[in-house]
Amino acid sequence: MQDKESIPLTELAKALFTINRHAKTAPDPKHLYHIKKESINQLLKEKRAEKVGLHFSNNPKFSNQHSTLLVKVDKYFFHIPPTKNDFKELEHLGELDQNYRNPPTKMSLSQAKKIVYRYLDWQPTKDAQKNSRRKRSRSSYFTPSSLGKTTWPPSKTKRRTH
């Protein structure tokens, strides 16, 4: 198994891009956003990523405008929550450029998570492993389908014909 320093920055950036793209549409994106933020903070500490500036967020919280920190990792740009020092030290770039797009990337979410987990040296808890293996939970009630029935509407009791 490789150590985290041997993971190429290009691969980490692609993995972060994939995780971020999936987090935007995930029903419960907390974990994905958490590992993205932790990875970017670690890359900043290692000086393998750079802070570019602050942007106004496209998604104001409770109708209040707030800013996000723009970070460059390889050829990709990401937003994470800023620190108080970021407001003192970095330039505010204003509105987000809607025309800019990160380079297209093809990587599965499972592959991206493996790369980031290895980089963060993150091990899932026992509960997380159980939950990830568990199939979608079934509904607690049964709704019979009328597909394949020869009569319509389906009746609750069989009718006798004489």
With respect to residue 129, please indicate whether it lies within any of the assigned structural domains: no
With respect to residue 133, please indicate whether it lies within any of the assigned structural domains: no
Mean pLDDT score of the chain, rounded to an integer?
81
Residue 1 pLDDT level (bands cut at 50, 70, 90): very low
pLDDT digits (tens, 9 = 90+) for 38-80: 999 999 999 999 999 998 877 666 666 688 899 999 999 999 9
pTM beyond 0.85: the answer is: no
With respect to residue 150, please indicate whether it lies within any of the assigned structural domains: no
Average pLDDT value for residue range 104-121: 94
Judged by DSSP in three states, 133 sits in helix
Determine the pLDDT at residue 33.
93
How many independent structural domains does the chain possess?
1
With respect to residue 60, please indicate whether it lies within any of the assigned structural domains: yes
Q: What is the dihedral of CA 1, 13, 11, 30, to 10 degrees?
A: 50
**Domain of 84, in residue numbers:** 4-97+105-123
Contact (CB, 8 A) for 108 and 18: yes
Contact (CB, 8 A) for 69 and 90: yes
